[in-house]
Chains A and B, each alone.
Chain A
Amino acid sequence: MNINWELVWSSLGPLLTGAIAGTIPLALASFSLGLLLALLVALMRLSRNRVVSAVARIYISVIRGTPLLVQLFVIFYGLPSVGITISPWPSAIIAFSLNVGGYAAEVIRAAILSVPKGQWEAGHTIGMSRRQTLVRIILPQAARVSVPPLSNTFISLVKDTSLASLILVTELFRQAQQVAAFSQEFMLLYLEAAVIYWIICLVLASGQSALEKRLDRYVAH
């Protein structure tokens, strides 16, 4: 196979633009919102109130039990038929945030439960309320425990954002598709896109180890 280096070079611009203006902000926005949602859902799931905890359980079950692509299509192509029309970018962010919210909620719940009961008691014995103990004592320790699994979620999300190309969001993969259709160099362009995804994930993985090291003191040794 002869590599068309000229095309590699000339397509780099659109692909990197797709990554920088599409994939990366989409992943960052969805992950941040998704994490907030996940924390809320995790706390609901841990609530002693049965209704609250059931709502959280059903949400998690639906998100994990249905394909992300279906969730995305329901929001973008489905909702207009009930009168709700959301443009591509917000649709993508909503779908990905809801998805991260479901998966990360279980990670955060498990991380909270992994903090020894004695830490709750130590918080209580110095007079802290449940909320104070949660925020100041439990969550910082749970954060450290959840870094590796949440990094997994984030890395999956970066790759899953390619699905947004199917609802017309201009991101890395959609750019690759367009250049490929124009040049008919499918192998080259899709491999090029793959390499860029891979590099983004390598950066994220190294960020993960740095964060783990920094938060190391947050766990009992």
Chain B
Amino acid sequence: MSPTETPLPVEVVPDAALLTVRGLRKSFGDHEVLKSIDLDVRRGEVVTLIGPSGSGKTTVLRCLNGLEVPDAGVAEFAGQLTVDFSTPMAKKQVYGLRDRSAMVFQHYNLFPHKTVLENVIEGPVQVQKRPKAEAVQEARDLLARVGLAGKESSYPFELSGGQQQRVGIVRALALRPQLLLFDEPTSALDPELVGEVLAVIKELAEEGWTMVVVTHELAFARQVADEVIFMDGGVVVERGHPDTVLRNPREERTRQFVDRLLNPF
């Protein structure tokens, strides 16, 4: 996969802000899951969210894709769209967020009744109304590039977890989003299959895709991320360059978390 082949959805202007989030809050019942989260994602940048389960990192991702509607906060997308979540209009505006981003799920969430190819072209053809022939061609190219040539007519249950997740990634790419969101993309995989999925994500990062990745794979974060954000209890505890956050954190909580992941016993 060479970088020049990638159909980047927008012209890449390095360092230009793609997504700016301020004061994101979300409660489920009495439980405040996000307590004022700020986030800046520049074009071509990889931001990884790490933290213990229940820290709110997945909720941040789901808010960015409109799968959850936050209670408060403002999200601004590259000057094209500003959503103020504290207004009633936000419920409609989240569709705008959804149009600009695409999610890769922990459990893949492929459509079991559709073939691999149908899974990939569903969004481009049914939602974006692109010509089917063009969508099919693009889907075939994308599938070939993640090593799934020849699997177009397979059904998801016929594939390994790693293959299914690569289909999940291609399904997201086919939407030509400006932002890719990965929700623990390798957490449901058998250990020997983690590498093939991370390799694909790493290549996408190198090609210049902008992405926010929730992950427990610290080695991956260290290699690929431009920024690592450590969350705990619904707040950002520490953020910065991976070498700092993962190797030499300022905060004690970050140090404990990283130590636990690196030395589980």
Does A103 reach chain B (CB closer than 8 Å)? no
Using a CB-CB cutoff of 8 Å, which residues 3-47 of chain A contact chain B? none
Determine how close the nearest CB of chain B comes to the CB of A128; give it in whole angstroms: 6
Query: Closest chain B residue to A132 by CB distance?
Result: B126
Rounded to whole angstroms, the CA-CA distance of A78 and B239 in the bound complex is: 75
- Chain B positions 75 through 96: 1 when the CB is less than 8 Å from some CB of chain A, otherwise 0: 0000000000000000000010
Does A65 reach chain B (CB closer than 8 Å)? no
Tell whether, in the assembled complex, residue A118 and residue B98 are in contact, meaning their CB atoms are under 8 Å apart.
no
Pick from A116, A125, A140: contact of B98, CB under 8 Å: A125
Using a CB-CB cutoff of 8 Å, which residues 82-125 of chain A contact chain B? 116, 118-119, 121-122, 124-125
Question: Chain B residues with Cβ under 8 A from A119's Cβ?
Answer: 109, 111
Does B49 reach chain A (CB closer than 8 Å)? no
Does A196 reach chain B (CB closer than 8 Å)? no
Using a CB-CB cutoff of 8 Å, which residues 141-197 of chain B contact chain A? 155-157, 171-172, 175
Determine how close the nearest CB of chain A comes to the CB of B86; give it in whole angstroms: 22
Does A220 reach chain B (CB closer than 8 Å)? yes
Rounded to whole angstroms, the CA-CA distance of A91 and B101 in the bound complex is: 54
Does B260 reach chain A (CB closer than 8 Å)? no
Determine how close the nearest CB of chain A comes to the CB of B67; give it in whole angstroms: 6
Question: Chain B residues with Cβ under 8 A from A218's Cβ?
Answer: 112-113
Does B236 reach chain A (CB closer than 8 Å)? no
Tell whether, in the assembled complex, residue B105 and residue A122 are in contact, meaning their CB atoms are under 8 Å apart.
yes
Measured as residues with beta carbon below 8 angstroms from the partner, the interface class of chain B is 20 to 34
Tell whether, in the assembled complex, residue B122 and residue A136 are in contact, meaning their CB atoms are under 8 Å apart.
yes
Tell whether, in the assembled complex, residue B102 and residue A126 are in contact, meaning their CB atoms are under 8 Å apart.
yes
Determine how close the nearest CB of chain B comes to the CB of A141; give it in whole angstroms: 6
- Chain A positions 59 through 70: 1 when the CB is less than 8 Å from some CB of chain B, otherwise 0: 000000000000
Does B128 reach chain A (CB closer than 8 Å)? yes
Rounded to whole angstroms, the CA-CA distance of A125 and B171 in the bound complex is: 10
Tell whether, in the assembled complex, residue B112 and residue A125 are in contact, meaning their CB atoms are under 8 Å apart.
no
Does B66 reach chain A (CB closer than 8 Å)? yes
Question: Chain A residues with Cβ under 8 A from B66's Cβ?
Answer: 124
Rounded to whole angstroms, the CA-CA distance of A90 and B123 in the bound complex is: 44
Query: Closest chain A residue to B120 by CB distance?
Result: A126
Query: Closest chain A residue to B99 by CB distance?
Result: A127
Query: Closest chain B residue to A121 by CB distance?
Result: B67
Chain B CB within 10 A, most for which of A116, A125, A144: A125
Tell whether, in the assembled complex, residue A126 and residue B105 are in contact, meaning their CB atoms are under 8 Å apart.
no
Tell whether, in the assembled complex, residue A128 and residue B155 are in contact, meaning their CB atoms are under 8 Å apart.
no
Determine how close the nearest CB of chain A comes to the CB of B215; give it in whole angstroms: 18
Determine how close the nearest CB of chain B comes to the CB of A50; give it in whole angstroms: 19
Does A217 reach chain B (CB closer than 8 Å)? yes
Question: Chain A residues with Cβ under 8 A from B126's Cβ?
Answer: 128, 132, 136
Determine how close the nearest CB of chain B comes to the CB of A190; give it in whole angstroms: 45
Given A128-B126, A132-B127, A217-B157, does the pair A122, B110 have CB atoms closer than 8 Å? yes
Rounded to whole angstroms, the CA-CA distance of A122 and B110 in the bound complex is: 7
Tell whether, in the assembled complex, residue A118 and residue B111 are in contact, meaning their CB atoms are under 8 Å apart.
no
Does A210 reach chain B (CB closer than 8 Å)? no
Query: Closest chain A residue to B174 by CB distance?
Result: A126
Question: Chain B residues with Cβ under 8 A from A147's Cβ?
Answer: none
- Chain A positions 131 through 165: 1 when the CB is less than 8 Å from some CB of chain B, otherwise 0: 01000110011001000000000000000000000
Rounded to whole angstroms, the CA-CA distance of A118 and B109 in the bound complex is: 6
Query: Closest chain B residue to A215 by CB distance?
Result: B113
Rounded to whole angstroms, the CA-CA distance of A137 and B105 in the bound complex is: 16
Does B210 reach chain A (CB closer than 8 Å)? no
Rounded to whole angstroms, the CA-CA distance of A206 and B157 in the bound complex is: 26
Does B107 reach chain A (CB closer than 8 Å)? yes
Does A219 reach chain B (CB closer than 8 Å)? yes
Tell whether, in the assembled complex, residue A219 and residue B112 are in contact, meaning their CB atoms are under 8 Å apart.
yes
Pick from B67, B95, B156, B171: contact of A126, CB under 8 Å: B171
A124-B66, A141-B113 given. 13 additional CB < 8 A pairs?
Answer: A118-B107, A121-B67, A124-B67, A126-B102, A126-B171, A126-B175, A127-B95, A127-B99, A128-B126, A128-B127, A217-B155, A217-B157, A220-B157
Q: List 26 A-B contacts (CB under 8 A).
A: A119-B109, A119-B111, A121-B103, A122-B110, A124-B66, A124-B67, A125-B65, A125-B67, A125-B98, A125-B102, A125-B172, A126-B123, A126-B171, A126-B175, A127-B127, A127-B128, A127-B175, A128-B123, A132-B126, A136-B126, A137-B111, A140-B113, A217-B113, A220-B112, A220-B156, A221-B157
Interface residues of B (CB under 8 A from A): 65-67, 95, 98-99, 102-103, 105, 107, 109-113, 122-123, 126-128, 155-157, 171-172, 175
